[in-house]
């Protein structure tokens, strides 16, 4: 006969509530305590009746993830990490694509499907903070990215200003003086591009270099085709750049093709860097220097916040969590050598 929670608690030397929190994946439990309880659970072969547990708790065991686009390598990788992290909590994840529009985000936050979810992790590009705040009042909500939910939902983000500053400073340190920035998105309200532009400009100012609007290229999307278009525009200008910082690896990979086909050597003639550290960039020729946000920690911290929200009976102060990033220097700026420089708060 399978041991019950009281017997497991006695063997692990903890309370029944602590065992219940470990089994359900909700509620705060210290890592060492969680490991000790899980060891006992494994030893006795405990298997929870998920259907009964969810019925008793008024929960479904299903959480949602909303991202702007699944064709983006960054969001696809992040979604996989969220699903993997959710498995540790015996949760199922429903992944949806909003298209990055206010209408799409609103539909997924207010539609009938959201009422079947225990909580939701969303990466918004369009909805204003006050609207995100309203949704956080009725559903446990964690917001990813730069769209601050006005202090009403937990917020997991990366320091984009510091990250862009680090990339640009690296390029300046290589002796580059005409550094282009590709990825401005004035049509979006999420703030990502604006923060990366700010970090880029601050690094130039710190180096005593002016920023030139002719070297700051807006894009419609963060995809390769837009990176290629931007590279063509820069090379056709009267004073082409000697370095290019793209606000996504997708843009950088598109720019890389155009640079090489034009006869430019990368990095000898033009150094190139991206942002996101997606797998394709690691295997490009040359491999791509990039900012690597800790995507695994983004997934883990977001679900930890969501579990805490789901397990609470009343309101709690919102958390703002800044996960670390690092600058990964590869062949597209440094030739054959490769290094990694950790930056940002741990």
Section 20-48 average pLDDT: 82
Question: How many angstroms separate the CA atoms of 166 and 200, rounded?
Answer: 8
CA 98 to centroid of chain Cα atoms = 16
The residue with greater pLDDT, 26 or 142, is 142
**Out of 18-32, 59-73, 81-95, which region has the weakest mean confidence (pLDDT)?**
18-32
Looking at mean pLDDT, say which of 23-37, 141-155, 286-300 comes out highest.
286-300
The residue with greater pLDDT, 244 or 39, is 244
Q: Would you state the structure tokens that stand for residue 29, as one six-digit string?
A: 């439990």
**What HEC string does 179-193 produce?**
EEEEEECCCCCCCHH
DSSP class of 287:
P
pLDDT of residue 290: 98
Section 33-51 average pLDDT: 79
Q: Would you state the structure tokens that stand for residue 333, as one six-digit string?
A: 């700026």
Checking if the pLDDT of 148 tops 90, the result is no
Residue in 197, 113, 124 with CA at minimum distance from that of residue 155: 124
| Start-end of H helices in the chain | 5-12, 16-24, 31-44, 50-57, 73-87, 102-110, 129-136, 160-173, 192-206, 224-236, 249-261, 279-282, 295-311, 331-334
Residues 6+ apart with CB under 8 A from 294: 323, 324, 325, 326
pLDDT of residue 29: 86
pLDDT tens digit string along 290-322? 999 999 999 999 999 999 988 875 567 888 999
- Say what the pTM is: 0.80
End-to-end CA distance of the chain: 45
pLDDT tens digit string along 208-234? 999 999 999 999 999 999 999 999 999
pLDDT of residue 51: 47
Name the CA radius of gyration of the chain, rounded: 23
| Domains of the chain, start order | 5-48 (1.10.260.40), 62-158+295-324 (3.40.50.2300), 160-292 (3.40.50.2300)
Section 149-168 average pLDDT: 90
Helices 224-236 & 249-261, crossing angle to 10 degrees? 50
pLDDT of residue 1: 46
pLDDT of residue 337: 61
Specify whether the CB–CB gap between 165 and 203 falls below 8 A.
yes
**Out of 52-56, 144-148, 273-277, which region has the weakest mean confidence (pLDDT)?**
52-56
Section 105-126 average pLDDT: 86
Checking if the pLDDT of 55 tops 50, the result is no
pLDDT of residue 31: 87
Q: pLDDT category, 47, cuts 50, 70, 90? A: low
Query: Which residues sit opposite 216 in a β-bridge?
Result: 181
Question: How many angstroms separate the CA atoms of 335 and 330, rounded?
Answer: 7
Specify whether the CB–CB gap between 201 and 238 falls below 8 A.
no
Section 48-77 average pLDDT: 78
DSSP class of 70:
S
Q: pLDDT category, 339, cuts 50, 70, 90? A: low
The residue with greater pLDDT, 282 or 125, is 282
Checking if the pLDDT of 49 tops 60, the result is no
pLDDT tens digit string along 239-270? 999 999 999 999 999 999 999 999 999 999 99
Question: How many angstroms separate the CA atoms of 119 and 136, rounded?
Answer: 10
Specify whether the CB–CB gap between 64 and 96 falls below 8 A.
yes
Residue in 247, 160, 165, 164 with CA at minimum distance from that of residue 206: 165
Number of alpha carbons in the 13 Å side-chain half-sphere of residue 277: 17
pLDDT tens digit string along 174-209? 999 999 999 999 887 778 999 999 999 999 999 999
User: Residue 40, Cβ neighbours under 10 Å: how many?
Assistant: 20
Burial 293-303 (b: 16+ CB within 10 A, else e): bbbebbbbbbb
DSSP class of 313:
S
Checking if the pLDDT of 170 tops 90, the result is yes
Burial class (CB within 10 angstroms; exposed 0-12, middle 13-18, buried 19+) of 214: middle
Burial class (CB within 10 angstroms; exposed 0-12, middle 13-18, buried 19+) of 67: buried
Specify whether the CB–CB gap between 242 and 270 falls below 8 A.
yes
């Amino acid at each position: 006969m399978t041991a019950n929670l009281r017997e497991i608690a006695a063997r692990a030397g903890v309370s029944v509530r602590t065992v219940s929190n470990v089994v359900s994946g909700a509620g705060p439990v210290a890592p060492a305590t969680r490991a000790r309880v899980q060891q006992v659970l494994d030893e006795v072969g405990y298997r929870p009746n998920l259907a009964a547990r969810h019925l008793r708790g008024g929960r479904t065991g299903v959480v949602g993830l909303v991202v702007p686009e699944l064709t983006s390598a960054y969001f696809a990788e992040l979604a996989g990490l969220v699903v993997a992290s959710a498995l540790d909590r015996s949760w199922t994840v429903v992944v949806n694509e909003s298209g990055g529009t206010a209408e799409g985000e609103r539909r997924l936050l207010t539609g009938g499907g959201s009422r079947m979810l225990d909580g939701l992790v969303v990466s918004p590009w369009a909805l204003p903070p006050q609207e995100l705040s309203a949704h956080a009042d009725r559903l446990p909500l964690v917001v990813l990215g730069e769209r601050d939910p006005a202090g009403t939902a937990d917020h997991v983000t990366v320091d984009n200003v510091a990250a862009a500053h680090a990339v640009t400073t690296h390029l300046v340190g290589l002796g580059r003086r005409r550094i282009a920035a590709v990825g401005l998105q004035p049509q979006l309200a999420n703030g990502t591009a604006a923060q990366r532009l700010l970090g880029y400009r601050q690094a130039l100012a710190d180096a005593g270099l002016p920023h030139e609007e002719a070297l700051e290229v807006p894009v419609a999307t963060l995809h390769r085709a837009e990176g290629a278009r931007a590279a063509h525009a820069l090379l056709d200008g009267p004073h082409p750049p000697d370095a290019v910082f793209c606000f996504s690896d997708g843009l950088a990979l598109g720019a890389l093709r155009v640079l090489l086909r034009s006869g430019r050597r990368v990095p000898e003639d033009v150094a190139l860097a991206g942002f996101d550290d997606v797998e394709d960039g690691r295997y490009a020729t040359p491999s791509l220097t990039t900012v690597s946000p800790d995507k695994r920690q983004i997934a883990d911290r977001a679900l930890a916040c969501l579990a805490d929200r789901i397990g609470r009976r009343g309101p709690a102060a919102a958390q703002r969590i800044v996960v670390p990033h690092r600058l990964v220097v590869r062949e597209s700026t440094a030739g054959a050598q490769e290094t990694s420089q950790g930056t940002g708060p741990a």
